[in-house]
Amino acid sequence: MNRILGIDYGKKRVGIATSDPLGIFASALETVATANIIEYLKNYTRENKVERFVVGYPMNLNNKPAEAAAYVDEFLVRLKKNFPDIPVSLEDERFTSRLAMRAMIDGGMKKMDRREKSNVDKISAAIILQTYLDRNK
């Protein structure tokens, strides 16, 4: 069954989320070191049929790309070069880290686990992906 992957790209870490086979729900999957993300995605796509990547795109409140967008733009070039047959969609990632923190608190995650940045990254990826899935039902 096909999956859609959500990606929260960062300079140090990349959060990854995946959809269920029907494309209804997003689940946090993994946090990967930025240096290893392309290799991780190659391995993942060998094992799973991925129909689309949804990448969080950093925007300012004035709807212009944030400073971090330059890093995401570089990643998008590498992503399209390595996976030319998988379409890429961009999703506004404003406030996803705050929403991820709120989700962890509401879900009862212990304070020590909430301090682990890798948890925030993969939950942010799930929020990015779920936003895309909800809008494209």
Q: Which residue from 71, 66, 86, 5 is spatially nearest to 34, judged by alpha carbons?
A: 71
Helix, strand and coil in the chain, % to nearest 5: 45, 30, 25
Mean pLDDT per 10-residue run, the chain (137 residues)? 92 95 92 96 96 92 83 96 97 68 60 59 89 89
Can you give the pLDDT at residue 89? 96
Q: Would you call 135 helix, strand, or coil by DSSP?
A: helix
Angle between helices 117-135 and 96-106 (to 10 degrees): 110
Can you give the pLDDT at residue 108? 62
Can you give the pLDDT at residue 124? 87
Can you give the pLDDT at residue 137? 78
Domain 2-135 fold = Nucleotidyltransferase; domain 5 (3.30.420)
